[in-house]
Amino acid sequence: MSFVEYGDTIKDGDTAIVFLGHESMFPVKVQHGTVTQTKYGVIRHSTDLIGKKYGSKVTCSKGGWVFILHPTPELWTMNLPHRTQILYSTDISIITMMLELKPGSIVCESGTGSGSLSHALIRTVAPTGHLYTVEFHQQRAEKAREEFREHGVEHLVTVTNQDVCKNGFGVSNIADAVFLDIPSPWEAIGHAKSALKAEGGRICSFSPCIEQVQRTCLAMEEYGFTEINTLEILLRVYNVRTISLQIPDLGKAAEDNSSTGFDSSSPSHQGSSCANLQQGTVQFKSGVPLREVVGHTGYLTFATKS
């Protein structure tokens, strides 16, 4: 099993995603002799998982069923254990595009955190690229190494435990792109410039506060970066609902079926048209935004090494 190479069959030691529904899923490490509890009953790894194909429908002990999915960076972002705040697919997608990443790219990242962005970067630069990721916290760095090894991508990533603001990324003049997600990114701009290739490398800094963005932009200008641009990505989700609206009273014209927008000659509409007219309402499909939406995640500042 690898996050960058699809495997057809579930094997002992794999990481799989147990899918109960769009709002309910979780990762599980497949191990011979182990069982996993769900609200639909027990899943026995030896008989229910190992040897089955990814995407299979598995019946649990209580009669309910779940799907077992092959892990991807997108699914991992939704289900990973949070050691820090993470980046989600909305920001990750624009980061990989604006940094102009492709298979074979060399990327430097700090900090590693929970590894949400790291998995997406690895999948993007595979099979010939490489990710150099730096994490200040020793335990988080060790956990990231363990996860990359379990997920079959350790050959595509190098994890370093050090302070990027003092010691840099450990590489020079080879990176196509640098990503910074640290409290004081302006202190690491010089090291980012040293890590980037001689000309044309791209840099991105993620910061939740505009004061961080201002200091980072000044540091980028000081080190000769060009095309400095800051943006924010906000996701707005809509629910499709059926709503009822009252038919306005327009006098005699309102009694004419043709004014309701229904084809009275159509058998499928005759009954509903009459019923709606008698009730004085008509039904429509409408997109309704969620009552609560995320108002702010962070600012993304991009620049190019001159």
Listed residue (145, 180, 175) closest to 165, CA to CA: 180
pTM, rounded to two decimals? 0.84
Q: What is the pLDDT of residue 264?
A: 47
Return averaged pLDDT per consecutive 10 residues of the chain, 306 residues in all. 91 95 93 94 95 95 94 96 94 97 98 96 97 97 96 96 96 97 97 95 97 98 97 90 83 55 51 53 86 85 96
Q: What are the structural domains, with CATH classification, of the chain?
A: 9-71 (3.10.330.20), 75-234+295-305 (3.40.50.150)
Q: What is the pLDDT of residue 263?
A: 52
Binding residues: 114-117, 135, 163, 181
- Cα dihedral sign for 74, 76, 81, 86? negative
Q: What is the pLDDT of residue 289?
A: 84
- In DSSP notation, 87-151 reads --HHHHHHHHHHTT--TT-EEEEE--TTSHHHHHHHHHHTTT-EEEEEESSHHHHHHHHHHHHHT
Q: What is the pLDDT of residue 249?
A: 75
Q: What is the pLDDT of residue 235?
A: 86
CA separation for the pair 132, 135 (Å, rounded): 10
Maximum C-alpha span of the chain: 82
Binding residues for S-adenosyl-L-methionine: 114-117, 135, 163, 181
Q: What is the pLDDT of residue 121?
A: 98
- Cα dihedral sign for 65, 66, 67, 70? negative
Measured in degrees and rounded to the nearest 5, phi and psi for residue 22 equal -60, -30
Q: What is the pLDDT of residue 252?
A: 64
Q: Which helix (H) or strand (E) holds 245?
A: strand 238-246
Pairing of strands 35-38, 41-44: antiparallel
CA separation for the pair 155, 148 (Å, rounded): 9
